[in-house]
């Protein structure tokens, strides 16, 4: 029998419930306000009182109102039909909700229980299987959605029967498997999993060994992220975090994209709702929306569900990873999630850590990032979850607790700088502050040697050094004045500007420039490096300045032109002439 | 706040602090309103039969035997067309003794619009100010604040924007407005003959600060009525949100909550987002656009209030006194409208995005040249031209007293480019240069 209880106290969305039976930490319960059933999660138990956080407004709730405990933690429902859905943080299907406004206590099914799926068996009777093993598959959009032994089933099983190919609904039995004691278990296409626990149906998590191409030069060329890697993008407001994340979600070479809009603006999600169904995925030719699932808990939706939303997104990602797919999860922004933790901790009157955040913030963030990664599945295939979160540091100060904690957990750091944003140098990824630890991985180096060209990473390092030298030269020029330094200082500065304008900056709103394939990145980067290696003959700094301005203009036109078109080649030859005319005789 | 029959009256308050009272009562809902000794109060905490109420006007003069009457509902606003032309206080009651409002009573601070039912904003709101229309175009359904120092004419600019924008209704939410500023708004709206499309909810500095907390919810409940029920385009003006946040801090402090950055409550982000996120473009054509004011102290945008606001709103507008021209301009560097990409070059002429960027870049070159000049270095010929350009750009485009349409702004920008720079210095796509570069000269 279910444990029930009564409301005995209310402070904002924390409700104290006197329970009449056993209650588990993080157990889900339903709080009834008349007919309205609101979900809540147990976050603390003291004696017979359970403190629950309600995923809704508690307005009008009274002492004595009824509560029912559900006996399980917050779960995600996993099965075919998740792709291209729009869920809230608790996996309610937003499209199915009635009315313009979200009524309190609205619940909708995340999956369609009536839809027929064309099923193909993959396993045969007699096969030994365990959690995560592939029993069959259905075609979901353009991916082969594997039907697996539910992750919650521990131990070894033997397949007794698998349904023949045909059309089934997700609740139909598609296989029967027998456990060691000889007991039969019927398997359907849908399973549940508690979101706060990682899915561990894999053999091992090897080190990442290839990069995820995003079409963003400042990332792919300068600080690439690995498939199965982790990265984060901190930046003050207005620095372009969201534009950058949207660009990555459009262009990244992933099979499945999960976009978690966590406590951010609703209009940004609307942009995805509106644009993704129209945009083509450059690799498959399908619509972008077909590979995208949105988990949307915008800033005005209940705060408690904000925390749940990132876990729901991660769980869905891990589910698709177990099918051997490349999953990319983007969360915007993890700071809002941390703030939700802070609000809760504050209401529970816990002793606060730095900036009133809970003491265990750092541990919570590390545990979460650790769920990403590439995994080796029991059947020898690989799947991956790549995670990129944005962080919104208070006051743009990177020394605040969320940024610091995330820095310890994530391997790529894309610092967006206010200065670059102010001078409209987008994406505002600071070339010197940012880093990718993956450039140090021997596996990644070897991969890039093959994928792009031998010794690619050392070319990248040369570029970084040039940018660094340019910055130093710029400081000297600023201190001593244009005339006070040798022309070589200007040359050095302008070479770094060339890298900045041509490689680091990219117009996310230009059809052609927005997405730069790796081969084009290589071509442009090498062209720029060639110019940087040359020594020029200038009469003075003014000539140097106008030469490079002209050169940058030509390079930019090249970035705007169709790859390898006549115009592209024409700009190229203009550049060659311009450079040759001013190069110092050897 | 008339009492209804059969309401239970409590007369035994056992705890009084500056802002709250508590007593023993049963059957009381969370967030419910009550009258305590004639003053309005709201339930903020229930612990068994012990109820804590926050008294909006402060607890001065309340005695342990004051009458407490629970209303059985959260704060409400009566909505109907009767709202138009009204000046109301923070409780939604007519100021200066006007007739009571008619209409359906709605809970304020109601539920959220389902994000899936929202429409992508795509309608440009023209203001005639180039600092906004050209550089930081505002779109219906957007939320954007002015970040201003207290001495800047933000209320005047906001009133100007409100009247030029073609909105069906303008709703003013005034928080801690000085009486002079309140009278200014009233007069400007009256002079424009626009009173019938204006609703005002005003808490002046004469009123208790905690009452301000109701103003944005009141204003937005009215806005939702006109936008969702009537399909109208509503412009909501909220001034000043910093004073609203100060009221939040007062309350949280009196409730013994642990403050986070700058003594603001840890929930500041959510509290502000709840308000700003009411900005919406609805499928029925109705929309709510929010233009707010956040006053800064000493121009510090890292303070918790502007900082959190910046993360919530879709951009921000900075006013600046330009010392070269003596005009008030909308700062092209720090201002940003995030939704401009949805309309520029689409609802406006194709060259808009590139012209905008080129002008701001050249203006930035001028700023660098100025720094050089101040540091006593010689200026190059380019620097001189950039400075001259910046002066004209500021005077003929950015200044808030310029009132022209966007096409004329673009033409004016091209003629300034041609006057001071070569084509390669402007660095705009060749196709556009061929089409729009002024032929004569």
pLDDT digits (tens, 9 = 90+) for A290-333: 999 999 998 888 888 888 999 999 999 999 999 999 999 999 88
Same domain, B370 and B408: yes
CB nearest B277 (choices: A63, A299, A340): A299
> What's residue B1's pLDDT?
44
Interchain pair A62, B269: CB under 8 A: no
> What's residue B5's pLDDT?
54
Interchain pair A303, B267: CB under 8 A: yes
Query: What distance, in Å, lies between the first and last C-alpha atoms of chain A?
Result: 89
> What's residue A273's pLDDT?
84
Instruction: Return the residue of B nearest to A18 by Cα.
Output: B48
Which residues, at least 6 apart from A181, have a Cβ–Cβ distance to it below 8 Å? none
Domain boundary among B50, B70, B90: B70
Question: DSSP secondary-structure letter at B380?
Answer: P
Q: Mind telling me how many Å the CA of A521 is from chain B's nearest CA?
A: 21
Mean pLDDT of A361-381: 95
Angle separating helix axes A442-451 and A456-480, nearest 10 degrees = 100
Which residues, at least 6 apart from B372, have a Cβ–Cβ distance to it below 8 Å? A481, A482, B379, B383
**What's domain A117-189's architecture?**
Beta Barrel (2.40)
> What's residue B12's pLDDT?
93
Q: Mind telling me how many Å the CA of A115 is from chain B's nearest CA?
A: 22
DSSP assignment of A155-191 equals S-EEEEEEPPSEEE-TTS--EEEEETTS-EEEE-S-E
B115 domain residue, yes or no: no
Q: Mind telling me how many Å the CA of A271 is from chain B's nearest CA?
A: 6
Interchain pair A9, B315: CB under 8 A: no
Interchain pair B46, A560: CB under 8 A: no
pLDDT band at residue A586 using 50, 70 and 90 as cut-offs: low
Residue A519, pLDDT > 50, answer yes
Percent of chain B with pLDDT over 90: 68
Return contacts of B186-192, CB within 8 angstroms, 24+ apart: B186/B87, B188/B159, B188/B163, B189/B159, B189/B163, B192/B163
Residue B2, pLDDT > 70, answer no
Interchain pair A263, B282: CB under 8 A: no
Interchain pair A422, B333: CB under 8 A: yes
Percent of chain B with pLDDT over 70: 98
B160 domain residue, yes or no: yes
Instruction: Return the residue of A nearest to B313 by Cα.
Output: A265
Residue B78, pLDDT > 50, answer yes
Same domain, B263 and B216: yes
Residue B306, pLDDT > 50, answer yes
B27 domain residue, yes or no: yes
Give the total number of structural domains in chain B: 3
pLDDT band at residue B377 using 50, 70 and 90 as cut-offs: confident
Question: Distance between CA A50 and CA A84 in Å, rounded?
Answer: 37
pLDDT in tens, B323-340: 888 889 999 888 989 899
Q: pTM here?
A: 0.91
ipTM of the complex: 0.84
What does the mean pLDDT of chain A come to? 93
pLDDT in tens, A110-168: 999 999 999 999 999 999 999 999 999 999 988 999 999 999 999 999 999 999 999 99
> What's residue B4's pLDDT?
56
**Residues B288 and B232 sit within 8 Å (Cβ to Cβ):** no
Return the closest-CA partner of residue B315 out of B135, B115, B126, B109.
B135
Q: Dihedrals φ, ψ of B146, to 5°? A: -90, 125
pLDDT in tens, B399-413: 988 899 999 999 999
Residue holding tokens 């730095």?
A354
**Residues B288 and B279 sit within 8 Å (Cβ to Cβ):** yes
> What's residue B98's pLDDT?
79
Strand ranges for A199-340 from DSSP E: 211-212, 225-226, 230-234, 256-262, 292-297, 326-332
What does the mean pLDDT of chain B come to? 91
**Residues B167 and B138 sit within 8 Å (Cβ to Cβ):** no
pLDDT in tens, B151-198: 899 999 999 888 888 899 999 999 999 999 999 999 999 998 888 899
Question: DSSP secondary-structure letter at A271?
Answer: H
**Residues A169 and A117 sit within 8 Å (Cβ to Cβ):** yes
B333 domain residue, yes or no: no
Q: If residue B433 lies in a helix (H) or strand (E), which one and from where to where?
A: helix B430-436
Same domain, B49 and B100: no
Q: Which chain A positions have a beta carbon within 8 Å of B46's beta carbon?
A: 9-11, 62-63
CB nearest A100 (choices: B107, B113, B315): B113
Same domain, B80 and B62: no
Interface test with A, best of B25, B112, B313, B344 (most A CBs within 10 A): B112
B171 domain residue, yes or no: yes
Return the closest-CA partner of residue A86 out of B117, B412, B153.
B117
Backbone CA torsion sign across B213, B218, B224, B226: negative
Q: Which residue has the higher pLDDT, B259 or A158?
A: A158
pLDDT in tens, B193-217: 888 899 999 999 988 888 999 999 9
Domain boundary among B261, B288, B313: B313
> What's residue B440's pLDDT?
67
B337 domain residue, yes or no: no
Interface test with B, best of A8, A16, A100 (most B CBs within 10 A): A100
Mean pLDDT of B370-397: 91
> What's residue B6's pLDDT?
60
Residue A551, pLDDT > 90, answer yes
Question: How many residues does this entry show for chain B?
Answer: 441
B121 domain residue, yes or no: no
Q: Mind telling me how many Å the CA of B390 is from chain A's nearest CA?
A: 15
Domain boundary among B42, B70, B98: B70
> What's residue A430's pLDDT?
94
Return the closest-CA partner of residue A81 out of A106, A116, A107.
A116
Cα–Cα–Cα angle for B315, B320, B321, rounded to 5 degrees: 165
Mean pLDDT of B25-45: 92
Q: Mind telling me how many Å the CA of B91 is from chain A's nearest CA?
A: 18
Question: Measured between alpha carbons, how far is residue B52 from residues A88, A147, B22, B90 in Å?
Answer: 33, 53, 4, 21
pLDDT in tens, A27-54: 999 999 999 999 999 999 999 999 999 9
Same domain, B150 and B36: no
Residue A238, pLDDT > 50, answer yes
Interchain pair A267, B314: CB under 8 A: yes
Three-state DSSP class for B275? helix
B173 domain residue, yes or no: yes
Alpha carbon A29 to its chain centroid, in Å, reads 30
> What's residue A303's pLDDT?
83
CATH class of A4-73: mainly beta
Listed by start position, the domains of chain A span 4-73, 117-189, 211-431, 456-582
Return the closest-CA partner of residue A42 out of A57, A31, A58.
A31
Residue A418, pLDDT > 90, answer no
Q: B240: cis peptide before it, omega within 30°?
A: yes
CATH, domain A211-431, list 3.40.50.300, 3.40.50.2300, 3.40.1410.10, 3.30.70.3270 = 3.40.50.300
Strand ranges for B307-414 from DSSP E: 315-322, 327-330, 336-337
Same domain, B92 and B219: yes
pLDDT band at residue A481 using 50, 70 and 90 as cut-offs: confident
Q: Which residue has the higher pLDDT, B98 or A478?
A: A478
User: Domain range spanning residue B52?
Assistant: 9-70
Interchain pair B425, A549: CB under 8 A: yes
Q: Mind telling me how many Å the CA of B357 is from chain A's nearest CA?
A: 8
Interchain pair B74, A59: CB under 8 A: yes
CATH class of A456-582: mainly alpha
């Amino acid at each position: 029998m279910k444990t029930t209880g009564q409301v005995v106290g209310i402070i904002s969305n924390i409700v104290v419930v006197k329970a009449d039976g056993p209650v588990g930490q993080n157990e889900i319960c339903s709080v009834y306000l008349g007919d309205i059933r609101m979900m809540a999660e147990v976050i603390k138990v003291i004696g017979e009182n359970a403190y629950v956080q309600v995923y809704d407004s508690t307005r009008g709730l009274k002492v004595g109102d009824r509560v029912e405990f559900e006996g399980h933690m917050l779960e995600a429902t996993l099965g075919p039909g998740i792709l291209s859905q729009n869920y809230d943080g608790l996996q309610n299907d937003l499209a199915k909700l009635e009315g313009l406004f979200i009524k309190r206590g609205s619940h909708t099914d995340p999956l369609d229980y009536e839809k027929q799926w064309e099923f193909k068996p993959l396993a045969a009777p007699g096969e030994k299987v365990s959690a995560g093993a592939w029993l069959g598959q259905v075609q979901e959009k353009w991916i082969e959605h594997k039907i697996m032994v539910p992750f919650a089933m521990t131990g070894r099983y033997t397949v007794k029967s698998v349904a023949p190919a045909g059309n089934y609904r997700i609740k139909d039995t598609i296989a029967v498997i027998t456990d060691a004691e000889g007991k039969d278990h019927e398997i359907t296409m849908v399973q549940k999993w508690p979101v706060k626990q990682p899915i561990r149906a894999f053999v091992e998590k090897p080190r990442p060994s290839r990069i995820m191409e995003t079409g963003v030069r400042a990332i792919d060329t300068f600080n690439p992220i690995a498939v199965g890697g982790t990265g984060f993008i901190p930046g003050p407001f207005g620095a372009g975090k969201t534009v950058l994340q949207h660009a990555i979600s459009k262009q990244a070479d992933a099979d499945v994209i999960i976009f978690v809009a966590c406590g951010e603006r609703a209009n940004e999600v609307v942009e995805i709702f509106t644009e993704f169904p129209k945009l083509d995925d450059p690799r498959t030719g399908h619509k972008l929306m077909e590979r995208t699932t949105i988990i949307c808990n915008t800033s005005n939706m209940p705060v408690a569900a904000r925390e749940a939303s990132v876990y729901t997104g991660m769980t869905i990602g891990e589910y698709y990873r177990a099918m051997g797919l490349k999953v990319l999860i983007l969360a915007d922004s993890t700071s809002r999630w941390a703030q939700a933790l802070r609000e809760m901790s504050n209401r529970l009157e816990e002793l606060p850590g730095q900036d009133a955040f809970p003491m265990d913030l750092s541990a919570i963030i590390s545990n979460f990032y650790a769920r990403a990664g590439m995994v080796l599945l029991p059947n020898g295939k690989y799947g991956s979850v790549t995670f990129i979160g944005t962080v919104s540091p208070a006051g743009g100060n990177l020394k605040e607790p969320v940024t610091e904690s995330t820095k310890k957990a994530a391997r790529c750091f894309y610092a967006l700088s206010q200065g670059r944003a102010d001078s409209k140098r987008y994406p505002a990824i600071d070339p010197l502050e940012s880093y990718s630890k993956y450039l140090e991985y021997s596996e990644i180096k070897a991969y890039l040697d093959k994928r792009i060209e031998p010794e690619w990473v050392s070319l990248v390092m040369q570029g970084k050094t040039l940018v660094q030298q340019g910055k130093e030269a710029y400081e000297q020029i600023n201190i001593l004045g244009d005339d006070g330094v040798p022309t070589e200082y200007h040359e050095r500065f302008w070479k770094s500007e060339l890298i900045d304008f041509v490689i680091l900056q990219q117009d996310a709103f230009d059809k052609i420039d927005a997405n730069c394939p790796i081969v084009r990145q290589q071509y442009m980067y090498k062209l720029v490096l060639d110019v940087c290696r040359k020594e020029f003959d200038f009469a003075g700094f003014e000539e140097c300045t106008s030469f490079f301005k002209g050169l940058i203009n030509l390079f930019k036109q090249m970035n705007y032109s169709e790859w390898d078109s006549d115009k592209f080649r024409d700009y190229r030859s203009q550049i060659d002439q311009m450079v040759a005319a001013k190069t110092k005789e050897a | 706040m008339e009492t209804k029959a059969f309401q239970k009256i409590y007369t035994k308050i056992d705890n009084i602090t500056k802002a709250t009272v508590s007593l023993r009562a049963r059957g009381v809902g969370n967030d419910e309103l009550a009258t305590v000794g004639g003053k309005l109060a709201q339930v903020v905490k229930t612990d068994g039969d012990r109820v804590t109420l926050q008294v909006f006007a402060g607890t001065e003069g309340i005695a342990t035997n004051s009458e407490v009457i629970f209303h059985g509902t959260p704060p409400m606003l009566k909505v109907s067309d009767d709202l138009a032309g009204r000046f109301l206080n923070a409780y939604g009651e007519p100021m200066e003794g006007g007739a009571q409002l008619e209409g359906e009573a709605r809970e304020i601070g109601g539920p959220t619009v389902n994000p899936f039912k929202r429409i992508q904003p795509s309608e440009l709101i023209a203001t005639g100010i180039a600092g906004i229309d050209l550089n930081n175009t505002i779109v219906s359904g957007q939320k954007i604040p002015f970040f201003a120092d207290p001495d800047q004419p933000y209320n005047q600019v906001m009133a100007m924007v409100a009247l030029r924008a073609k909105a069906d209704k303008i709703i003013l939410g005034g928080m801690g407005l000085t009486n002079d500023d309140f009278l200014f708004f009233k007069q400007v709206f009256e002079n424009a003959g626009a009173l019938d499309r204006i609703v005002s909810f005003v808490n002046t500095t004469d009123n208790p600060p905690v009452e301000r907390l109701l103003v944005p919810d009141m204003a937005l409940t009215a806005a939702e009525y006109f936008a969702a029920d009537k399909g109208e385009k509503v412009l909501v003006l909220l001034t000043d949100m910093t004073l609203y946040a100060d009221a939040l801090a007062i309350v949280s402090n009196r409730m013994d909550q642990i403050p986070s950055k700058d003594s603001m409550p840890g929930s500041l982000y959510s509290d502000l987002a709840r308000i700003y996120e009411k900005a919406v473009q609805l499928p029925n054509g109705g929309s709510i656009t929010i233009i707010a004011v956040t006053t800064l102290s000493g121009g510090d945008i890292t303070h918790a209030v502007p900082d959190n606001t910046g993360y919530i709103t879709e951009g921000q507008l900075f006013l600046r006194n330009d010392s070269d021209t003596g005009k008030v301009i909308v700062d092209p560097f720090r201002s940003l409208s995030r939704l401009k990409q949805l309309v520029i070059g689409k609802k406006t002429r194709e060259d808009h995005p590139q012209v905008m960027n080129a002008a701001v870049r050249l203006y930035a070159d001028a700023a660098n040249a100025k720094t050089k000049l101040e540091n006593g270095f010689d200026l190059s010929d380019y620097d001189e031209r950039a400075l001259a350009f910046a002066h004209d750009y500021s005077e003929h485009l950015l200044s808030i007293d310029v009132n022209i349409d966007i096409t004329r702004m673009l033409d004016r920008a091209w003629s300034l480019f041609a006057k001071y720079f070569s084509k390669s210095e402007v660095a705009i796509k060749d196709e556009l240069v061929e089409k729009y570069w002024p032929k004569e000269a």
